[in-house]
Structure 1
Amino acid sequence: MTEAADPPFPNFPMPRECPFRPPAGYTELRAERPVSQVTLPSGNNAWVISDYALVREFLADSRTSANRAHPSYPSVLPRQPVSSQQAKGLLTWMDPPEHTAHRRMVVNEFTAKRVAAMGPHIRAITEDCIDQMLLNDRSADLVQSLSLPVPSRVICELLGVPYSDRELFDKRTVVILNHQSAVEDRMAAWQELRSYLSDLVSVKVQAPEDDLLSRLVKKYQDAGTFDHELLTGLAVALLVAGHETTANMISLGTVFLLDNPDRIAELREHPEHAGQMVEELLRYFSIADYSTSRVTTSDIEIGGVVIPGGSGVIALNSAANNDEKIFAAPEEFNAHRDARRHMAFGYGIHQCLGQSLARLELEIVFTTLFRRIPDLRLTTPSAQLSYKHNAAFYGIYEVPVAW
């Protein structure tokens, strides 16, 4: 008589039953097996952590690596061969002390004080995008008219990237982040984007201007550590992260608010509470659920479970942000709760550099949009929209609206 085989691990990513909520399987994992294993699309196994306190503990542990080129990195995207030269400069792939040194070069560009000073210009960009949107025949795709243009223009002007080239990097970013893109298509898009920014770095070296890339060129030159390929990688990381995540949050937040008009009325009546509502939206959606993935560099005991060294681990920030031990009734959207403890921007040394900028952009966009277009409405029910179930960052491909 043969012994029964162990049941297979659950497949990951897990399906969403509601486009506005994380997979129901997260709740079960957190309650029964907060540190457990899953099977990735590649057929490889990985560990997932779904408890808020344990996620924070893991992400603060120095015995982990963020290097996505590691063979055990728990990628939910099709694997592609990445050379050390291709990965050069990507902050989210780095470990200390390399990460510490290069993050220090960039972090002062995104201080709360510096970002706050950008407020009037972000408002002007938002107003201009809405002006252009209103020139349409009382209908538009919100993604192309507002969600992408606002953060794209902001990050382009900050970095010194010509906004006229936005079609190039927008299209490449979609291919790179889509789970269903063929590996060769993702590699081609990656190379095209990196080649474009490599040329731009050369321009900044020859003719520096008052922008972030030019300032970084000078910082590295002054330090005697200038490396063209490294700065190209930094530019790629800042450009992609600087517009794609915020664009998805604008689309998701707008659709959710249009489905809950009482929230819009509250926002109009009390625009000074927009920051608190944005924090709850960030907690509620937690769109970068896989960006907190790591590889253990040695055995780590967490939650009474030993994760062996060399294991891929996904610290699920969406599951953590819905932990009922931290956020009462997490399935409810509560704009009056204190949601600032959320981990939508990650935690630990890789916490998002641009979080202050993202928060400000979201506050400005939501308050301005519903003030300018009070009769905005969806022309397709929210349940039928094209959600990014197969992308690295959750969002919506198209949001048809009218007014």
Structure 2
Amino acid sequence: MRRESPVVEVTLPTGATAWLVTRYDDAQRALSDPRFSKAVMPAGGVNYRALVPESVERALNRHMLATDPPDHTRLRRLVAGPFAPRRVAAMRPWIEQIAERLLDGVSGAVEVDLLDAYAAPLPIQVICELLGIPVEDQTTFRGWVNAILAGPMNVAEWPPAVMALLDYIRGLLVAKRQDPGDDLLSALITARDEGDRLTDDELTSMVYLLLIAGHETTTNLIANGMLLLLSEPARWERVVAEPELLPGVVEECLRYEGPVQTATFRTTLEPVELGGHLIPAGATVLVSLSSANRDADRFPDPDRLVLDRPATPNLAFGHGIHYCLGAPLARLEGQVAFAALARRFPGMRLAVPLDQLSWRPSVLIRGLAALPVTLNGTRQP
């Protein structure tokens, strides 16, 4: 498809049509061209915002992934500080402590679901710590997040999940106003930029985004990456023997089997020529990050996982002004997660054949339903 139809009109599960972009150069352009708007709702199909009350809709529509400049510029500036690479690097010790504590909890087991026991709770605990959210609430919002991310595959459960999560966030904000702490949530409540402050809807929407994006993509990064490494034991053995490879290993896993399949919807503000096709104004555009990251014109031998592949930027976290703010944190969590597993469980193997693993249904997200492993055993035939 990348060579013959790099930009093609497709039908989504909702019945709506969209233009799918599959080639790296075209994807990079679409992600950075201001004529592809994030603030305009796509036409046709299911209008998710119409499925919830107006007060809820407003709180879904005021964060960085749903705005264009100048609103996007202002919102991103207000929250960018804690996610700067230098600030993120300083988080390594306590992320390592979280990883070790989680692995202590499974150290006596023979077989575990690595997704449920480690890949999901690690980033959830990190984002809870960062935002100042009680970590015991993680199981409360994890189910809501899964329903929300299923999107077009799960229309019936989407509205109640959204409303429940937003009610939870509003309760958190009330508590933080009464008893602020040394955390990002308290800082956002009082955030000012040249006298500017986040409105209540912007604040709720921003926490909504940070809570979902702050753990879901990293959960998939860890689980998908471990699946790649364990699916051929020699790969895992090399990581165990050469932990210095881990920054590049994380990057290659992001490229090869990234946590996000397509970037969130964009809408053309005017007719745009892309990849030899004229996309009309008002069209929905989906950029396939997973396809772009397998483009042979960008990556030699793209369908092979190369643990020491020379560094080449990929699109796993997007591109342009909407590039994922939390990318440095997600990369660090991936490195810490893999390193701790390699150190504690060098004999880890998949507990089931590959064909028994399944992926969660989603247009946007690439995530496993479960990842059963034996901690110090042999792989099942």
CA distance in 2, matches of 1:33, 1:180: 24
- Residue 145 of structure 2 aligns with an amino acid whose one-letter code is T
1:145 is matched with 117
Aligned-residue identity in percent = 37
CA distance in structure 2 between the partners assigned to 1:399 and 1:318 by the alignment: 21
Is 1:186 the counterpart of 2:158? The answer is yes
Q: Which amino acid aligns with 1:62?
A: P
CA contact (8 A) 1:73 1:293 kept: no
Instruction: Report the RMSD for the aligned CA atoms in angstroms.
Output: 2.0
* 2:43 equivalent to 1:72: yes
**Cα offset for 1:179?**
4.5
Name the SS of the counterpart of 1:370 in structure 2.
helix
The reply to whether residue 113 of structure 1 matches residue 83 of structure 2 is: no
TM-superposition CA deviations, 1:80-112 (whole Å, max 9, x none): 635441324332111111111001111111011
TM-score scaled by length of structure 1? 0.87
- CA displacement, residues 284-332 of structure 1 (integer Å, 9 cap, x when unaligned): 0123122243100111112232111100111111111111011011000
The correspondence for 2:144, drawn from 163, 166, 172, is: 172
Q: Does 1:81 align with 2:51?
A: yes
Structure 1 unaligned regions, length at least 5: 1-28
Assess if the C-alpha contact under 8 Å between 1:47 and 1:312 holds in 2. Answer: yes
Mapping for residues 391-402 of structure 1, pairs under 5 Å: 392-402=364-374
**Amino acid corresponding to residue 332 of structure 1 in structure 2:** R
- Say which SS state the counterpart of residue 46 (structure 1) adopts: strand
Question: How far apart, CA to CA, are the structure 2 residues paired with 1:377 and 1:335?
Answer: 18
**Equivalent residue pairs, number:** 372
Listed as ranges, the gaps of 5+ residues in structure 2 are 377-381
Separation (CA, whole Å) in 2 of partners of 1:289 and 1:93: 18
Query: Aligned in 2, Cα 1:176/1:361: closer, same or farther, shift over 3 Å?
Result: same
* Alpha-carbon distance in structure 2 between the residues aligned to 1:327 and 1:205: 49
The separation in 1 between residues aligned to 2:223 and 2:38, in whole angstroms, is 29
Which ranges of 4 or more aligned residues in structure 1 deviate by more than 6 Å? none
Which stretch has the larger CA shift, 213-222 or 289-298? 213-222
Q: Which residue of 1 aligns with 2:203?
A: 231
Report matched runs for 1:272-287 at 5 Å. Answer: 272-287=244-259
User: Map of 1:197-216 to 2, 5 A cutoff?
Assistant: 197-216=169-188
Distance 1:120 1:66 in 2: 36
Alignment of 1:301-312 (within 5 A): 301-312=273-284
Aligned-partner residue type, residue 72 of structure 2: H
Q: Distance in 1 between matches of 2:226 and 2:360?
A: 16
Match of 1:95 among 68, 80, 88: 68
* Deviation at residue 221 of structure 1 after TM alignment: 9.1
- Do the aligned residues in 2 keep the contact of 1:292 with 1:346 (CA within 8 Å)? no
Counterpart CA distance in 1 for 2:343 and 2:256 is: 23
Correspondence 1:330 to 2:308: no
User: Are residues 1:129 and 2:99 paired?
Assistant: no
- SS of the equivalent of 1:352 reads coil
Alignment partners' CA distance in 2, 1:59 and 1:288:
14
The 1:71/1:54 distance shift into structure 2, 3 A limit, reads closer
What is the one-letter code of the residue matched to 2:65?
T
1:258 equivalenced with 2:230 (yes/no):
yes
SS of the equivalent of 1:251 reads: helix
Q: TM-score, normalised by structure 2?
A: 0.92
Measure the CA separation in 1 of the matches of 2:45 and 2:252: 28
Once the two structures are TM-superposed, the CA of residue 73 in structure 1 deviates from its matched residue by 7.5
Q: Give, as a single letter, the amino acid of the residue that structure 1 aligns with 2:237.
A: A
Aligned equivalent of 1:348: 320
In structure 1, distance between residues paired with 2:363 and 2:111:
27
